[in-house]
Structure 1
């Protein structure tokens, strides 16, 4: 039984090309430093750099908030807005609109 001659298989009869193809496949997929592992590591690096930028922005925002709270006016504003604190001679009215109230359907 003879093997059919194909023009596509002719280059693989050369031992050097065969070794080169096997080496390339080994290096791309099976080696410890393969292209697949490098691609995965590069993706992880990009994700970590994005996370790093996010946390830098959050740190800047928190530092700005701390700077605001370090002044008397900023601290008073925060206490009034967040905890509804008031001075002794003041009255506070909290106005809530219907669309901002929680209903049983929202929960």
Structure 2
């Protein structure tokens, strides 16, 4: 004899799958938090903060020019064909 109600096997199976997905997400975000904390710790140094700002946001000092060099393999295919 089989009874199907709100506590059925299918619902338990779906909930267990959801719990596994949430646990995987939790592990992923914990790793990301560790990476971000390391980066924050390294950015407390003025030299590394300046390097980060220059590389990521192309910031510069006054009376300074920046040239961005892009290699052909780093460009989108659309721009190479033109």
TM-score, normalization by structure 1? 0.61
How many residue pairs are counted as aligned between the two chains? 80
> Structure 2 residue aligned with 1:64, among 15, 18, 38?
38
Name the larger-Rg structure.
1
> In angstroms, what is the RMSD of aligned CA positions?
2.4
- Tell me: higher relative CO, structure 1 or 2? Use CA pairs within 8 A at least 6 residues apart: 2
Q: 2:31 aligned with 1:31, yes or no?
A: no
| CA-CA distance at 1:63 after TM superposition | 0.7
Aligned to 1:47: 21
Partner of 2:48: 74
Paired residues of 2:43 and 2:49 also in contact (CA < 8 A): yes
TM-score by length of structure 2 reads 0.76
- Give structure 1 stretches of 5+ with no counterpart: 1-21
Distance 1:45 1:92, change over 3 A: same
